[in-house]
Amino acid sequence: RFVRHPNYAVVLVEAIVLPLFHGAFLTLVVVQFLHIPVLIARILAEERYLMSLQPYRDAMSDKPRFLPRFWIPSPKDAAKAVR
């Protein structure tokens, strides 16, 4: 509802927090070094497919990928406010 990829945001936070919680700093660096490029490729491939679907594009094109922007109006809301 607020972001396009809430699960990926949680996965990224989890991959950072769990090694820190256990004091595995080297694991954090190595895993993120390997994980982030894979995550980026997967998200871009998924978005390429989903944006080709009109219902998804209509519902999600104005939403940010990971972090909700409660403090910034979406382009659709901004257009409504101008009218």
Q: In angstroms, rounded to a whole number, what is the distance separating the alpha carbons of residues 22 and 20? A: 5
Q: 5-18, pLDDT tens digit by residue?
A: 778 888 888 888 98
DSSP letter, residue 2: -
* pLDDT for the residue 26: 92
Mention every residue, 6+ apart, whose C-beta is less than 8 A from residue 50. 56, 57, 60
Q: 24-76, pLDDT tens digit by residue?
A: 999 889 988 998 899 889 988 988 998 899 998 888 888 777 666 666 665 66
**Is the pTM here over 0.75, yes or no?**
no
